[in-house]
Structures are given as C-alpha cells and as structure tokens.
C-alpha cells in the first residue's frame, strides 16, 4: 500500500485553489507559523467515501467560534471542497488506499494592525494524505504501549478543551519525554487534579468490572470517534461510564484503548510498564472494532493488516 505516494504529489486546497502538496504556501511571519493561531479537524475515508463529515465540520466551526476566529465559509461549501479533493486525488493513489484529510483554519489576527480589530481574513487549508496501514498494523497485533507524562493537560480555563487547536508544544514535550523512557510508547496526560485526560492524538478508555469507562468532557477534546464509540457501545447493550479516572484505576484495568479518527480504536497493551489484559485486542475492544467495521462496511483490523 501507499506505493504511489512515492511518486505522486497529492493535491491540497488553499484559499480557493487546488495546489500540489509540495508547493510552499506560508511565509516565516505567518500567523499559524509564528503564533499557532489556527484550528483544525481531521476526517478519514472508508472506501474512498468521507466518514463523519458533518460532525467534524461542526466541531471545526465551533473551534473557530470558541477561539474568536472569524470564518464565513459555509459548512456546505467545505463539504463540497472535501468531496472535490477526494475525487481529484483518487486517481493518484492505489485502489486500497484511504485518505486522511486535515482541515486547517488559520486565524484572522496580526500583531500590529493598522487600527484595532483590522485583521487580515482567516484562511482555509485542506491537506490530503493516505493512511499508512503498514506502519500502524503492529498496534492491532501487539497493542500500543502507553506512559503517563509529567506534562499536564492545558486547563480549560486557559484554552477551552472544546477547541481543536494547533498550539501543541505540550503534546510534543510529552511525546519526547515518554519516548526517552520507552521509545515505542505514546504519552497519556493527566490534568492538574491528577486525573487521566487524553493522549496527544486520541481519547482514552478502559474496561473495568465489565464496564467501559472514559474521562468526562471537562478537560478533554470532545472526540468525534469517542462519541461514536460511546453510542455504539450503548446500542450493543454494553455499560458505559464517563468518570474521573485515577492512575491506580487505569493500572488495574482489564482492557484499555484509544479512539481516534485514523485508527478508530487502538488497543493498549501496557501503561507505565504494567501489562493490560492478556490478549490484543481485548474481548470488549474486539467487539467494538467488529461492530464499528460493520457500520462503515470495512473490516478495520483486516484493512490495517493488509488482509
């Protein structure tokens, strides 16, 4: 898979134009580059069809509102651009490839406006890549190793957790920290009350006492896949509880997994060097993967394993 990616330059969208992804578009003084004033959202495809588009666009526009970014392109126009981008890039990739699309809205702000509130317009950038199934396949066989970080989650009083923003230095620092201890681990952040919050790319779940448990929304990004998994679990008759999770509870979990747009569910094999469960994926994690796959018409694990 992804063999075509070595030779074909996929197209991106930037402020009205479809451009090769290799074309430079930012200057050194760009707002996103200098200040990180941008929001984003990520969408993937199943069978080259966009998945959950309206939910992701809705969260994106809410991020704009919460971050005080003025943006006036209607959601229907964004959906049209996304569809066109998939259509234009489909001939450039292999039939089995799936797209991972990141939408960026670069905020309308400048350090020294000529008069108060006189800012340049916000800009829309949509980047399209393919999911590297081979690279991620191991997580469905071995599971993801996880370590808690000394870096704390940014409190919602500083930046609302409902904003999916690109100011991510704390995530990078957490990732470098845990990888200095365990190179193939992914970080898990705690909040200032020492409760589990989220990873740098995913929401977090455990299974304990036959109940699926996940941190409440107060200090985590309201994940689209998280919400889908909670609803799916309830439809399956499984018990779901949103509650504060301590390290002690997490370390004694029977199963654990991340939810994210690209992998949907990532089984977790260990946390802070403590093994979680006895098989990968765990029983309940496996049930959720199978049921989610039925809803999108794809065997998710088989797709990552190239079967």
Q: DSSP for 70-125?
A: -----HHHHHHHHHHHHHHHGGGS-TT--EEEEEEEE----SS-SSTT--PPPEEE
Cα-to-chain-centroid distance, residue 298: 19
User: How much is the pTM?
Assistant: 0.93
Helix %, strand %, coil % for the chain, to 5?
A: 35, 30, 40
Strands 264-271 and 144-152: parallel
Q: What is the mean pLDDT of the chain?
A: 94
For 6-30, the pLDDT digits (tens) are: 557 999 999 999 999 998 887 767 7
Q: What are the tens digits of pLDDT across the range 60-86?
A: 999 999 999 999 999 999 999 999 999
What pLDDT shows up at residue 7? 55
Distances (CA, A) of 53 to 79, 215, 287: 7, 25, 25
Query: Is there a contact between 233 and 255 (Cβ–Cβ < 8 Å)?
Result: no
User: Average pLDDT of each block of 10 consecutive residues along the chain (307 residues)?
Assistant: 59 95 80 86 98 97 96 96 98 97 93 78 95 96 97 94 94 97 97 96 96 95 98 98 97 98 98 96 97 97 94
pLDDT, tens digit (0-9, with 9 covering 90-100), for 288-307: 999 999 999 999 999 999 98
């Amino acid at each position: 898979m992804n063999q075509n990616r070595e030779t074909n330059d996929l197209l991106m969208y930037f402020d009205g134009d479809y451009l090769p992804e290799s074309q430079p578009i930012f200057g050194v003084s760009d707002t996103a580059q200098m200040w990180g004033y941008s929001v984003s959202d990520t969408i993937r495809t199943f069978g080259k069809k966009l998945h959950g588009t309206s939910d992701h666009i809705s969260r994106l526009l809410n991020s704009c509102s919460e971050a005080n970014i003025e943006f006036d392109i209607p959601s229907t126009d964004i959906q049209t651009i996304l569809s066109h981008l998939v259509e234009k890039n489909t001939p450039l990739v292999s039939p089995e490839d799936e797209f991972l699309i990141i939408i960026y809205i670069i905020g309308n702000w400048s350090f020294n406006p000529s008069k108060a509130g006189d800012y340049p317009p916000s800009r829309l950038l949509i980047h399209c890549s393919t999911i590297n199934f081979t690279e991620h396949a191991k997580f469905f066989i071995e599971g993801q190793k996880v370590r808690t970080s000394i870096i704390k989650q940014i409190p919602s009083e500083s930046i609302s957790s409902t904003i999916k923003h690109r100011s991510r230095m704390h995530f990078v620092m957490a990732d470098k920290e845990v990888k200095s201890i365990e190179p193939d681990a992914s970080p898990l952040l705690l909040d200032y009350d020492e409760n589990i919050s989220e990873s740098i790319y995913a929401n977090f779940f455990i299974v304990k006492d036959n109940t699926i448990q996940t941190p409440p929304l107060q200090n985590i990004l309201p994940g689209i896949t998280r919400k889908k998994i909670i609803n799916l679990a309830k439809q399956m008759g499984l018990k779901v509880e949103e509650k504060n999770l301590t390290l002690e509870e997490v370390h004694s979990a029977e199963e654990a997994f991340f939810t994210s747009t690209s992998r949907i569910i990532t089984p977790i094999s260990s946390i802070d060097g403590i093994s979680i469960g006895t098989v990968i994926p765990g029983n309940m994690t496996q049930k959720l993967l199978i049921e989610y796959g039925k809803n999108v018409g794809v065997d998710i694990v088989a797709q990552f394993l190239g079967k």
